[in-house]
Amino acid sequence: MTFSKKHFICLTLFLMLMISIPEPLQADVQKTGDTVSLPSSSPSQIIRNVIVQIEPESRLNDKYKKLAEALIEVKPGDIFSEEKIDASASLLRLTNRFENVHIEKIATAFGMDILFILTPHALIKDIKINKAYPLFTKDVEKVMTISVGDPFVFSTLAEQVELISRLYIKEGYIMPRVTLTAHKLERDSAYVVQVSIAKGAFQTLGKLDFKGNTAFSDTRLSLHMKSFRTSFYIGHGGRFRESVFLKGIENLIRFYRKKGYADVSITHQFNKNDLKNHVVNAVITIEEGPQYMIEDIDGNDEFFDRTLEKDLVFFEKGNKYNLGLRKSVQNIKTRYMDKGYPDISVKIMEEKAVTVEGEKRKLSISIHEGKQVIVDHVAIQGNTFFSDKKILKQVLTSPPSLFHAGVFLQETLSADMMAIKSLYLNDGFNDVEVSEKLAWKEDHVHVTVTLIIKEGTRTIVSFVQTEGDQLLSQESFLKTISMTPGTPFVKQMLSKDENELAAAIAEKGYPHVKVKGKAIISEDKKESVIIYRIDKGTYVKMGGIFLGGNFRTKEKVIQKELEMKSGEPFSLKKMVTAQKNTRDLNIFQSVRFKTIGIKENSDTVHLLADVIESPPYHMNAGAGYESQRGLYMHGKIGDQNLFGLNKKGWLSYESSEIGHRTETGLMDHRFLGYRTDAALTLYSERQQEFNQTFETRTRGATLGFTRKEGRYFTTGLNFKLERREQIYDEYPDETDINDSFFDLRTVFVTTPAISYDSRDGFVRPKKGALSTFSVDISRGLTNEIDNFYKLYLDNRYYYSPLSWLTFALLCRTGYLIPAGTNTDVPKDQLIYLGGTASVRGFRENRLEYDDNGDPIGGKAAVNTSIEARFEVGYSIELALFYDTGTLFDTPFYDSHEHVRHTVGTGIRYLTPIGPIGFLYGSKINPRSDEGRDQFHFSIGYTF
- Predicted confidence at residue 732, as pLDDT, reads 60
- Predicted confidence at residue 822, as pLDDT, reads 74
Residue 26 in this model has a pLDDT that exceeds 70: no
- DSSP annotation of 401: B
Domain end (from 120, 135, 162): 120
Is the CB of residue 130 less than 8 Å from the CB of residue 195? Answer: yes
**Which tens digit of pLDDT belongs to each residue from 480-493?**
999 999 999 999 99
For residues 142-157, give the mean pLDDT: 91
Which of 9-20 are b and which e, b meaning 16 or more Cβ less than 10 Å from the residue's Cβ? Answer: eeeeeeeeeeee
**CA 909/CA 878 separation, integer angstroms:** 9
The CATH number of residue 562's host domain is 3.10.20.310
For residues 639-666, give the mean pLDDT: 96
Q: How many domains does the chain have?
A: 8
Residue 161 in this model has a pLDDT that exceeds 90: yes
**CA 37/CA 29 separation, integer angstroms:** 6
- Predicted confidence at residue 17, as pLDDT, reads 45
Q: Cβ of 512: how many Cβ atoms within 10 Å?
A: 14
- Predicted confidence at residue 651, as pLDDT, reads 98
Is the CB of residue 107 less than 8 Å from the CB of residue 24? Answer: yes
Pairing of strands 204-211, 279-287: parallel
For residues 710 and 781, membership in a common domain is answered with yes
**CA 179/CA 175 separation, integer angstroms:** 13
**Which tens digit of pLDDT belongs to each residue from 566-591?**
899 999 999 999 999 999 888 998 89
For residues 243-259, give the mean pLDDT: 92
- Predicted confidence at residue 187, as pLDDT, reads 76
**CA 421/CA 423 separation, integer angstroms:** 5
For residues 10-26, give the mean pLDDT: 45
Domain end (from 236, 263, 287): 287
* 653: in domain: no
Provide, rounded to the nearest whole percent, the portion of the chain with pLDDT above 70. Answer: 92
- DSSP annotation of 152: P
From 217-226, 342-351, 515-524, 852-861, the region with the lowest mean pLDDT: 217-226
Determine the length of the chain. 943
For residues 734 and 859, membership in a common domain is answered with yes
Q: What is the pTM of this model?
A: 0.75
Could you tell me which residue, 404 or 804, shows the higher pLDDT?
804
- Predicted confidence at residue 29, as pLDDT, reads 37
**CA 432/CA 438 separation, integer angstroms:** 20
Residue 234 in this model has a pLDDT that exceeds 50: no
Q: Is the peptide bond before 56 cis (omega within 30 degrees of 0)?
A: yes
- DSSP annotation of 134: T
**CA 66/CA 44 separation, integer angstroms:** 28
- Predicted confidence at residue 6, as pLDDT, reads 53
Q: How confident is the model at residue 4 (pLDDT cuts 50, 70, 90)?
A: low
For residues 855 and 766, membership in a common domain is answered with yes
Residue 182 in this model has a pLDDT that exceeds 50: yes
Residue 196 in this model has a pLDDT that exceeds 90: yes
For residues 74-91, give the mean pLDDT: 90
Is the alpha carbon torsion for 582, 584, 585, 588 positive or negative? positive
* 94: in domain: yes
* 637: in domain: no
**CA 375/CA 404 separation, integer angstroms:** 11
Per residue, the 3-state secondary structure of 813-880, as one string, reads EEEEEECCCCCCCCHHHCECCCCCCCCCCCCCCCCCECCCCCECCECEEEEEEEEEEEEEECCEEEEE
Q: How confident is the model at residue 821 (pLDDT cuts 50, 70, 90)?
A: confident
Residue 27 in this model has a pLDDT that exceeds 90: no
Residues contacting residue 943 through CB under 8 Å, at least 6 positions apart: 796, 808, 810, 865, 867
User: Cα 408–409–410 angle (5° rounding)?
Assistant: 120
For residues 447 and 467, membership in a common domain is answered with no
* 656: in domain: no
Q: Cβ of 469: how many Cβ atoms within 10 Å?
A: 15
- DSSP annotation of 27: G
Is the CB of residue 729 less than 8 Å from the CB of residue 693? Answer: yes
For residues 409-422, give the mean pLDDT: 94
From 372-381, 755-764, 819-828, the region with the lowest mean pLDDT: 819-828
Residue among 518, 536, 516 nearest 471 (CA): 536
Pairing of strands 527-535, 460-468: parallel
For residues 858 and 748, membership in a common domain is answered with yes
Domain end (from 85, 102, 120): 120
**CA 368/CA 329 separation, integer angstroms:** 12
Is the CB of residue 448 less than 8 Å from the CB of residue 377? Answer: yes
The CATH number of residue 919's host domain is 2.40.160.50
For residues 238 and 305, membership in a common domain is answered with no
For residues 200-206, give the mean pLDDT: 88
For residues 835 and 917, membership in a common domain is answered with yes
Q: Is the peptide bond before 151 cis (omega within 30 degrees of 0)?
A: no
* 625: in domain: no
**CA 822/CA 787 separation, integer angstroms:** 7
Could you tell me which residue, 428 or 187, shows the higher pLDDT?
428
For residues 896-916, give the mean pLDDT: 89
Could you tell me which residue, 266 or 32, shows the higher pLDDT?
266
For residues 393 and 441, membership in a common domain is answered with yes
- Predicted confidence at residue 39, as pLDDT, reads 44
For residues 513 and 549, membership in a common domain is answered with no
Residue among 169, 155, 157 nearest 194 (CA): 157
DSSP 550-605: -SSS-HHHHHHHH---TTSBP-HHHHHHHHHHHHTTSSEEEEEEEEESTTTT-SEE
Residue 657 in this model has a pLDDT that exceeds 80: yes
Is the CB of residue 279 less than 8 Å from the CB of residue 204? Answer: yes
Q: How confident is the model at residue 738 (pLDDT cuts 50, 70, 90)?
A: low
For residues 400 and 522, membership in a common domain is answered with no
What would you report as the CA-atom Rg of the chain, rounded to the nearest whole angstrom? 40
* 390: in domain: yes
Domain range enclosing 551: 541-613
Dihedral angle of Cα 458, 462, 467, 472, to the nearest 10 degrees: 110
**Which tens digit of pLDDT belongs to each residue from 307-352?**
999 999 999 999 988 899 999 999 999 999 999 999 999 999 999 8
For residues 523 and 407, membership in a common domain is answered with no
- Predicted confidence at residue 33, as pLDDT, reads 38
Q: Cβ of 820: how many Cβ atoms within 10 Å?
A: 8
* 646: in domain: no
For residues 413-440, give the mean pLDDT: 95
From 109-123, 194-208, 308-322, 737-751, the region with the lowest mean pLDDT: 737-751
**Which tens digit of pLDDT belongs to each residue from 359-379?**
899 999 999 999 999 999 999
The mean of the pLDDT values for the chain is: 88
For residues 357 and 506, membership in a common domain is answered with no
Provide, rounded to the nearest whole percent, the portion of the chain with pLDDT above 90. Answer: 65
**CA 688/CA 832 separation, integer angstroms:** 13
* 635: in domain: no
- Predicted confidence at residue 897, as pLDDT, reads 61
- Predicted confidence at residue 232, as pLDDT, reads 39
